[in-house]
Amino acid sequence: MARIAGRFRRVEPRATARAYLVGLLSGVERKNCWRLTEQTGHARPGPMQRLLRSARRDADAVRDEVRAYAVEHLGSEGGVLILDETGFVKKGRSSAGVQRQYTGTAGRIENSQVGVFLAYATSRGRALIDRRLYLPEHSWCCDTKRRDAAGVPGDVQFATKPRLAWEMIAAALDAGVEAPWVTGDEAYGQDPQLRAALEAHGTGYVLAVACSIRVRINSGRTPIRADTVAGRLPEAAWHRQSAGAGAKGPRYYDWAWIDIGTDKHRHLLIRRNPTTGELAFYLCWSPTAAPLAELVRVAGTRWSVEECFQAAKGQVGLDHYQVRHWNGWHRHVTLAMLALAFLVAVTADAAPNRAEEPHHDTRGSDPIALTVPEIRHLFAAALSPSVVSPARLLHWSIWRRRHQATARRSHYRRRSADESSG
């Protein structure tokens, strides 16, 4: 709260914001104003509702503090900015930006809002550091009456999701965030304007693209589809490398890269699943030559944003809000991002010298490292009126994490045996 206290003009909304954050970090199941009010001991939900809608504060200024706080605790080693979007399924048509649209959250077209997010990932952890609510062009941007009812500011105009993504990247880089790489899925990799903006800024990227994208090989002389290039590669062109640690150990894939420019800074990166043969494609550019291992690392980092969404929704109620107003959405989401950043910072600081944990170690009885869910559980339990002793809380935490470590070692032994027999 010390980081964001100065962004509130009056003491009442400042105190309410603190109570709201404590509620987000609590164990209450649904983190809306009514439940958070009950959880934090307030008599009525009015102060929290005013905090989200009408209190005089700048949600973007608080967002700047969230970004600075996350970067400060996560450091800059191997920093990668990650682009992605997530949906918030809604009923009715009054919530700002809501319409029937595809959302990966539901896996189909639903009545929903869509938020575009920017995550920051290093070897110490990952956190959400910026957000933009996508405002559809025809159903919202051109409907003045609907905009006014939802409190959409008059200066907010239609912007594509890649455009919103670039605004967040530019803001982060201008704020001094050290991130030599950007990655994202096809929705952003297919946009030539975003790629051009990153190149003009001197920021490298590894962006997913469709198999149908056309690239130029042979020093730019031959245009060809990406999947056609993959089909012509000899087996010697593929290199098995890990794309990072997953829930079940290192994620090994076969990788190939092809020069698609006149210099050594532009590549088509191809990932092949060694089990299914499924292919994925990435366009890569960097201001200086980068080895294959670095491109693979950045490509593998893209999945960190999914972990951020899972933690933000499951731990701090990113999608639990019941607000319709433009300001309400940005204020709730920003405070949820701060709550997540707090958990990530505590987790990182609990193991400040931690590198990637060995995933094939079958010896020892040490518990797994503290995780974001475990930190939130301990925090919520410590604030509970019926809290048990700190010693008992830590005893059960160590017991859980030690059994998780035992299960993981057993899985790795079984996996190694299967790979050896195969």
Cα separation, 220 vs 232, in Å, equals: 17
Rg (CA), the chain: 23
**Residue 420: how many other CB atoms lie within 10 Å:** 7
Structure tokens at 102: 């595809």
Q: What is the DSSP string of 166-205?
A: HHHHHHHHHTT---SEEEE-HHHHT-HHHHHHHHHHT-EE
Nearest to 297, CA basis, from 257, 243, 259, 333: 243
Cα separation, 230 vs 421, in Å, equals: 29
* Residues shown for the chain: 422
Q: What is the pLDDT of residues 59-71, one digit of tens each?
A: 899 999 999 999 9
Q: What is the pLDDT of residues 144-183, one digit of tens each?
A: 999 999 999 999 999 999 999 999 999 999 999 999 999 9
Q: Which helix (H) or strand (E) holds 266?
A: strand 266-272
Cα separation, 359 vs 209, in Å, equals: 30
Structure tokens at 416: 């190694």
Number of H helices, E strands in the chain: 14, 12
Q: From residue 348, give the alpha-carbon distance in Å to each of 62, 123, 329, 366.
A: 22, 9, 28, 18
pLDDT tens, position by position, for the chain (422 residues)?
Answer: 888 998 988 899 999 999 999 999 998 888 888 888 888 888 888 889 999 988 877 889 999 999 999 999 998 888 999 999 999 999 999 999 999 999 888 889 999 999 999 999 999 999 999 999 999 999 999 999 999 999 999 999 999 999 999 999 999 999 999 999 999 999 999 999 999 999 999 999 999 999 999 998 887 788 899 999 999 999 999 999 998 877 667 889 999 999 997 777 899 999 999 999 999 999 999 999 999 999 999 999 999 999 999 999 999 999 999 899 999 999 999 999 999 999 999 999 887 564 444 444 444 568 888 889 999 988 888 877 666 788 888 888 888 888 888 887 777 677 666 655 55
Q: CB within 8 A of 366, min separation 6: which ones?
A: 402, 405
**Apex 378 CA angle, 374 and 383, nearest 5:** 150
Structure tokens at 51: 């905090």
What is the pairing mode between strands 181-184 and 80-89? Answer: parallel
Helices (H), 87-191: 144-150, 161-174, 186-189
